[in-house]
């Protein structure tokens, strides 16, 4: 698969599978297994995995376009896709001691038959995902883990979960280790429903781990090396993917608002809303400007990830922080411009508005990112 064919496949799935059911799945809070099946068949689940495990070996540039294309049709599915890509990247980066055990899983992902995700956030440490409360305890050559994972995208639908826990002998709050748990692991269960304000169709439910046994060859990082993996493997792609989801939402908001301004009429004036009111045209223009600004910011981050520079970490932090705000601002403007039609849920704009609010809440949250950026500019330690 090439960059261009990946985008064509994403566009085809977005229009054939995602767009027709996004509204209904949102209303019902229903996870789209059809979407995951289509993504698997198309090869997009293995997009960034190496060719030797059946992946396409494509990079962040393609990942960003594929994710934003999916998000334009259904941000819930795009978030499922994003968390899967992060899970796959973490599995692929596994330490050498796990290489043999994860190889068949990577091949399953490459073949499009395996969905993964991340289970980092815990009820006890909330959005501070880098500081798990749970601790792995030695159990023969493996470990035993009990944990309350508070939000796990694709909970109950993924075939595997990349789970964090404090290392058995870890001394500090960030001395974590990452493990791979199959959905079949005894003691792993979905611990509650998912009924969010937005991204309602992505099953971000809590997961309980009750004395789950994990063999040593499914320990993905060395003891205590979970935190650097979160920062180096997960965070850059998460920032890029979150921004791509935000971009898809903004583009959908601009498109939906444009259609409404052209089609809704003041019959007594013989004009459409857009023809009649300069203020609405100006607000639409502002939405477009912000959307294109976000697109340029994403291109900039892609460039940084392809060719890291001194400022790359700063860009990683800035991009997710900025994207969350832009998505809220653009979709809020769309709500105002489309007025009662949006408020009364006659347009998909209100779904975009609700979905857009997830980005800033998902950790690292916008507030935390601004705190990190400020500290980093002042030369202060981040943790
Ligand atoms: C749709 C969705 C999907 C998710 N999927 C996953 C997933 O797949 N895997 C996973 O591990 N997690 C997932 N999460 C969890 C997410 O990453 C966060 O951990 C969670 O949303 C935090 O929620 P909270 O409000 O309890 O955080 P809290 O920590 O209670 O935050 C409350 C407020 O305090 C602010 N705040 C917190 N700390 C600071 C600080 N140091 N400085 C300034 N402000 C601060 C926050 O910005 C927020 O405004 C998901 C969340 C959502 C909404």
pLDDT 10s digits, 248-264: 999 999 999 999 999 99
Neighbours of 208 (CB within 10 A): 16
Ligand 1: which residue has its CA nearest to atom 51? 362
Among positive and negative, which fits the CA dihedral 137, 140, 143, 144?
negative
Q: Give the pLDDT score at 101.
A: 97
Neighbours of 275 (CB within 10 A): 15
Q: How far is the CA of 204 from the centre of ligand 1 (A)?
A: 12
Q: Give the pLDDT score at 382.
A: 87
- Distance from C-alpha of 113 to C-alpha of 43, rounded to nearest angstrom: 10
Q: Give the pLDDT score at 215.
A: 97
- Distance from C-alpha of 198 to C-alpha of 140, rounded to nearest angstrom: 43
- Per the listing, tokens 């960034």 go with 48
Residue among 75, 84, 85, 126 whose CB has most ligand 1 atoms within 8 A, to mutate:
126
Q: How far apart are the first and last CA of the chain?
A: 40
Ligand 1: which residue has its CA nearest to atom 44? 367
How does pLDDT run across 335-356, given as a tens digit for each residue? 999 999 999 988 899 999 999 9
**The pTM is what?**
0.97
Q: pLDDT below 70 — which residues of the chain?
A: none
Q: Give the pLDDT score at 22.
A: 98
381 phi and psi, to 5 degrees? -65, 145
The response to whether residue 199 sits with its C-beta less than 6 Å from ligand 1 reads yes
Neighbours of 169 (CB within 10 A): 11
Question: Judging by DSSP bridges, how do beta strands 160-166 and 116-119 pair with one another?
Answer: parallel
The response to whether residue 325 sits with its C-beta less than 6 Å from ligand 1 reads no
Q: Give the pLDDT score at 261.
A: 98
CA distances from 193 to 68, 103, 123, 189, 190 (A): 27, 32, 15, 12, 8
Q: Which atom of ligand 1 is nearest to the CA of 121?
A: 11
How does pLDDT run across 34-57, given as a tens digit for each residue? 999 999 999 999 999 999 999 999
């Amino acid at each position: 698969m090439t960059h261009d064919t990946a985008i064509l496949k994403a566009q085809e799935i977005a229009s054939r599978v995602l767009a027709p059911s996004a509204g209904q799945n949102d209303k019902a809070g229903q996870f789209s297994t059809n979407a995951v099946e289509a993504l698997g068949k198309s090869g997009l689940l293995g997009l960034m995995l190496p060719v030797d495990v059946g992946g396409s070996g494509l990079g962040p540039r393609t990942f960003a376009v594929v994710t934003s294309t999916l998000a334009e049709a259904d941000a819930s599915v795009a978030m499922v896709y994003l968390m899967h890509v992060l899970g796959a990247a973490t599995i692929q980066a596994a330490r050498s001691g796990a290489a043999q055990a994860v190889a068949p899983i990577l091949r399953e992902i490459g073949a499009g038959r395996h969905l993964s995700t991340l289970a980092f956030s815990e009820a006890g440490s909330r959005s501070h995902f880098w500081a798990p409360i749970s601790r792995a305890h030695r159990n023969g050559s493996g470990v035993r883990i009990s944990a309350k994972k508070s939000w796990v995208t694709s909970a109950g639908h993924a075939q595997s979960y990349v789970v964090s826990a404090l290392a058995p002998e870890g001394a500090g709050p960030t001395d974590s280790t990452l493990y791979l748990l199959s959905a079949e692991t005894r003691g792993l269960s979905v611990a509650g429903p998912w009924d969010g304000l937005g991204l309602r169709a992505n099953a971000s439910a809590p997961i309980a781990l009750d004395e789950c046994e994990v063999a040593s060859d499914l320990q993905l990082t060395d003891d205590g090396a979970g935190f650097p993996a979160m920062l180096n493997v997960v965070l850059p792609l998460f920032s890029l993917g979150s921004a791509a989801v935000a971009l898809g939402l903004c583009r959908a908001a601009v498109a939906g608002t444009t259609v409404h301004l052209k089609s809704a009429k003041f019959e007594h004036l013989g004009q459409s809303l857009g023809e009649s009111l300069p203020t609405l045209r100006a607000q639409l223009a502002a939405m477009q400007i912000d959307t294109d600004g976000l697109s340029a910011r994403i291109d900039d981050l892609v460039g940084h990830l392809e060719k890291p520079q001194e400022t790359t970490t700063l860009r990683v932090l800035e991009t997710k922080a900025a994207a969350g705000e832009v998505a809220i601002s653009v979709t809020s403007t769309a709500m105002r411009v489309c007025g009662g039609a949006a408020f009364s849920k006659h347009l998909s704009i209100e779904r975009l508005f609700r979905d857009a609010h997830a980005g800033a809440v998902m950790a690292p949250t916008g507030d935390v990112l601004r705190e990190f950026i400020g500290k980093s500019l002042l030369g202060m330690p981040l943790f």
